[in-house]
């Protein structure tokens, strides 16, 4: 999938500098950042899941 994004001049410069420092293309760096972002579960989801699991722990134990 191809994706176009708009960056401010400052953001574009920061991306270019980071890509040069890492010796990768700007597109590869941006794609890696997106992949890392979506690979990580959201903190809010984790907190909610832990709260539900803890709240219903006794029920889950009885159903097991």
Q: pLDDT category, 24, cuts 50, 70, 90? A: very high
Give percent above pLDDT 70 in the chain: 100
Helices 26-39, 9-22: crossing angle, 10 deg rounding: 90
Note the pTM of the prediction, 2 decimals. 0.63
CA–CA distances in Å: residue 62 to residues 10, 29, 54, 56, 57: 57, 49, 14, 10, 9
Q: Residue ranges per domain, the chain? A: 9-63
Instruction: Reply yes or no on whether the pLDDT at 11 is more than 90.
Output: yes
- Confidence bin at 59 (pLDDT 50/70/90): confident
pLDDT class for 14, splitting at 50, 70, 90? very high
CA distance 43 to 49: 10
Polymer length in residues for the chain: 64
């Amino acid at each position: 999938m191809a994706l176009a994004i708009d960056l401010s001049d400052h953001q574009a410069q920061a991306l270019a500098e980071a890509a040069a420092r890492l010796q990768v293309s700007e597109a590869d760096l941006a794609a890696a950042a997106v992949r890392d972002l979506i690979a990580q579960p959201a903190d809010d989801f984790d907190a909610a899941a832990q709260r539900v699991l803890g709240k219903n722990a006794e029920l889950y134990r009885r159903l097991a």
